[in-house]
Amino acid sequence: MKKSLFILFSASLFLTSCSGSNNAQIGEVVFENDQLRITQLEENAWVGETSDNTTIYIVEGDDRAALIDTGTSIDGLDEIVTGITDKPLDVILTHLHSDHAGNIRYFDEIYFHPADTVLGLRGYTGKVNYVAEGDVFDLGGTQLEVLHAPAHTPGEICLLDRAAGICYSGDAVGSNDVWLQLQPSAPIATYIATCDKILAEMDKGIDKIYCGHYVYIDGGVLHRDYVETMRELALSLEDGSGIPQAVPYDNAAYRNTAWKPLVLSKNGVNIVFYPEYLK
């Protein structure tokens, strides 16, 4: 009797150590400190939300794991991620804005699209790997495919987990707001093409979008109607019919500056832009 109890106990220890945080229920918080809270999002994926409203994702396969974006200020992010998954890690940046590419100093290698090189790497000394449309990160049983989705930045990418029907979108289509007012910016036609591309992926089985600022999304997931509304708004900016409906964008980032972008809205979906940058 004693012996079988010991075997059971050993087996459960083994399971716990092998499966890391996978014992957590979806929605359960698996890590929390003043800067970051990590929640189980899927059976093999976690969302990390920072105290300043940026978002990172961890996706685990059988052999490797991916860290999608690195947030702004997260002390010891490498060790925090290792506490979630002990698999070798690919660090993939959806784009190089500082709220997605902070903390890269903790990692020896990063992946991003070369069109974002213009945004700069702020002294990063590790190895830079460029990705291209169609590249696949094979994590073992889980694959993340690169979809180039420019406009918010020239090198913005989404990562598609086709088998799970998930798109990790960074800021490609925004998080209720898409910011197209920043420099370098793309013409609105580029954004329409990106919306079309994502909608085409939705026709082929993607049905959830996990975006780059999860906290702003009701329930954390964007669906097809959101992208369709973005496309409709973008078309009205391209043909000019939407511009009279746009209003000054009220956001803390702009309150005390000379920059006065406009925002065009429908059903809580917003495009922030400058008219002079649309063409």
Where does this chain bind Zn ion (CB under 5 A)?
97, 99, 171, 212
Q: Which amino acid is at 66?
A: A
Q: If we measure between CA atoms, which residue out of 26, 137, 41, 89 comes closest to residue 80?
A: 89
Q: Which amino acid is at 150?
A: P
Given the complex with Zn ion, which of 139 and 211 has the nearer CB atom? 211
DSSP per position, 227-259: HHHHHHHHHHHHSSTTGGG-EE---GGGTTSS-
Q: What is the DSSP letter of 206?
A: -
Least separation in angstroms between residue 152's CB and Zn ion is 5
Given the complex with Zn ion, which of 99 and 201 has the nearer CB atom? 99
The residue of the chain with the least Cβ separation from Zn ion equals: 97
CA distances from 213 to 20, 49, 53, 117, 218 (A): 26, 8, 6, 22, 11
Least separation in angstroms between residue 240's CB and Zn ion is 26
Given the complex with Zn ion, which of 142 and 169 has the nearer CB atom? 169
What does the alpha-carbon distance between residue 25 and residue 42 come to, in Å, rounded to a whole number? 9
- Give SS3 for 196: helix
Given the complex with Zn ion, which of 60 and 156 has the nearer CB atom? 156
Least separation in angstroms between residue 174's CB and Zn ion is 9
Given the complex with Zn ion, which of 102 and 212 has the nearer CB atom? 212
3 state SS for 20-32: HHHHCCCCCEEEE
Least separation in angstroms between residue 3's CB and Zn ion is 56
Least separation in angstroms between residue 211's CB and Zn ion is 9
Least separation in angstroms between residue 54's CB and Zn ion is 6
- Give SS3 for 34: coil
Given the complex with Zn ion, which of 170 and 242 has the nearer CB atom? 170
Q: What is the DSSP letter of 1?
A: -
Pairing of strands 208-211, 166-170: parallel
Given the complex with Zn ion, which of 61 and 155 has the nearer CB atom? 155
Least separation in angstroms between residue 169's CB and Zn ion is 11
